[in-house]
Amino acid sequence: MRDFSYLRAASVEEAINAAALPATMLLAGGTTLLDLAKCGVADPERVVDISHLTGLDTIRVDGEGAFIGALAKMSRVAVDAAIQQQFPAVSEALWQAASAQIRNMASIGGNLLQRTRCAYFRDPATFPACNKRSPGSGCSALEGVTRNHAVLGGSDACIATYPGDLAVALTAFDAVVHLGERSVAIDDFFLLPGSTPNREHAMQPGEMITAITIPTSVAARHSTFIKVRDRQSYEFAAASAAVGIAFEADGKTISDIRVALGGVATKPWRARGVEDALRGRAFEPEAVKQASRLAIEGAIDHGANHYKIELAPRVVERAILKTGAMA
Ligand SMILES: Cc1cc2nc3c(=O)[nH]c(=O)nc-3n(C[C@H](O)[C@H](O)[C@H](O)COP(=O)(O)OP(=O)(O)OC[C@H]3O[C@@H](n4cnc5c(N)ncnc54)[C@H](O)[C@@H]3O)c2cc1C
Ligand code: SF4
């Protein structure tokens, strides 16, 4: 039995003030927080409930882009007609995440901040060594079973994979995370582990996600999300790709291409090497295949996760071919 105080915040301001106190965690849908409390990873002294706050669940799409409030439910965003039309990869990423029950409970803000599924991280009783949980304690995974671990963006301190799907699509289309007064580009929001894997994002104490925005683009409108996993539902990605493509007037030359990877890196991974190799070139299967290999440039495997180095470029290639055929 763990004791903690519970505050039902009456406003964003009250939630932010309370969140500035040490050992305080916000509660939105609770599908991650409760899980982490049960396995002994999260042990807050104060829980600040924001789930009922009004005005934070707006979903709006106009000529500029999409505005999605932090408390919008995953399921609502996934079925929103304008999101499906303007940002199909975002809708598809949400549809392929978790289960219907979780999508109905879980919020967009909470989804971005979900924690890694590294089994060692989630079992503190058996594996005390985890730099992400207890800085300086070591990394049980480096000497352990690494099948689900990252091949990109890892460090000597941590090789845990970022598990979410939505953030991968948001990374491909240059979304912005709004933290009240401040805004951070999504690629800067998620941090590489380096020597401080306990710091996963750019949020400071006393900040909360209030919304995300995604700029409109032709590539976002012609986009898709492919997720490969051990089973076809209720499973995290072994490798995933969000891809968007725009063509020149000739219908053949790629004018804009966005590629981001999930399931293989320590943060949602923008594959700029693939984009640079294909932008300005004719859309041809052999060029796509060659460029897709660049998705795993710099990858390092740890034995059991070597398959991701083979899998990721194939997922990227499939996603590009599918998107190109639709665009
Ligand atoms: C069995 C299972 C399978 C899953 N499969 C997938 C999957 O395939 N793909 C996928 O993407 N996800 C998957 N998930 C993760 C799921 O999507 C997340 O649990 C969910 O999105 C979290 O949202 P929430 O609102 O419940 O967050 P909460 O649990 O309420 O919060 C999560 C974290 O975010 C913080 N937080 C919440 N809202 C805010 C805010 N506005 N500002 C600042 N901090 C905030 C909380 O303090 C907490 O640390 C799975 C989860 C489970 C349990
Ligand atoms: S990979 Fe990261 S999260 Fe997993 S045990 Fe090592 S330090 Fe902890």
pLDDT above 80: residue 143: yes
Are 100 and 75 within 8 A, CB to CB?
yes
The whole-model pTM stands at 0.98
Name 8's bridge partners: 49
Q: Is the same domain home to 7 and 104?
A: no
In a shared domain, residues 23 and 91: no
Is residue 1 in a domain? yes
**34 shares a domain with 63:** no
Report how far apart, in Å, the C-alpha atoms of 96 and of each of 49, 119, 196, 220, 320 are: 27, 22, 31, 18, 18
Q: How confident is the model at residue 118 (pLDDT cuts 50, 70, 90)?
A: very high
Instruction: Please state the rounded mean pLDDT for residues 192-202.
Output: 98
What residues contact residue 247 under an 8 Å CB cut-off, 6+ apart?
A: 253, 254, 255, 283, 327
Q: In CATH, what number is assigned to the domain containing residue 295? A: 3.30.390.50
Mean pLDDT of 190-208: 96
The Cα–Cα gap between 93 and 175 comes to: 14
Report pLDDT for 267: 98
Residue 38 lies in a domain: yes
Q: What is the pLDDT of residue 233?
A: 86
Find all residues with CB under 8 Å of 231, minimum gap 6, and list them.
none
Percent of the chain residues past pLDDT 70, beyond the cut:
100
pLDDT of residue 326: 83
Q: Is residue 173 part of a domain?
A: yes
Please give the share of the chain, as a percent, with pLDDT higher than 90.
97
- Based on the fold, state whether residues 41 and 73 are members of the same structural domain: no
151 assigned to some structural domain = no
Structure tokens belonging to residue 235: 């499973």
* Ligand 1 cavity residues, CB under 6 Å: 25-33, 35, 70, 74, 97-98, 102, 105-107, 109-111, 113-114, 164-166, 208-209, 236
Domain that holds residue 195: 59-113+162-326
**Closest ligand 1 atom, residue 179 Cα:** 42
Residues paired with residue 247 on neighbouring β-strands, in sequence order: 254
Tell whether 81 and 37 lie within a shared domain.
no
How many domains is the chain built from?
2
Token pair 């089994």 in the structure block, residue:
119
pLDDT of 1 above 70: no
CA triple 40-46-49, angle to 5 deg: 100
38-52 residue pLDDT tens: 999 999 999 999 999
Whether residue 231 is contained in a domain is answered as yes
In order of 89, 146, 234, 264, the CA distances from 160 in angstroms are: 24, 9, 20, 9
For 76, phi and psi rounded to 5 degrees?
-65, -40
Q: Are 100 and 177 members of one domain?
A: yes
In this predicted model, what pLDDT tens digit does every residue of 127-137 receive, in sequence order? Answer: 999 999 999 99
Contacts of 107 (CB under 8 A, 6+ apart): 28, 29, 51, 70, 71, 72, 73, 74
Q: How far is CA 256 from CA 36, 121, 220, in A?
A: 40, 39, 10
Same domain, 258 and 182: yes
Ligand 2 residue neighbourhood (C-beta within 6 Å): 116, 118, 120-121, 130-132, 139-141, 158-160, 197
Q: 45 with 167, same domain?
A: no
* Shared domain check, 174 and 248: yes
**Which residue shows structure tokens 């000597």?**
156
pLDDT for 198 equals 98
Are residues 169 and 46 part of one domain? no
pLDDT of residue 66: 98
d(CA 265, CA 241): 12
Over 70: is that where the pLDDT of 124 sits?
yes
**Structure-model confidence comparison of residues 234 and 211, the more confident one:** 211
Centre of ligand 1 to C-alpha 29, Å, is 7
Residue 278 lies in a domain: yes
Decide if 74 is inside a domain: yes
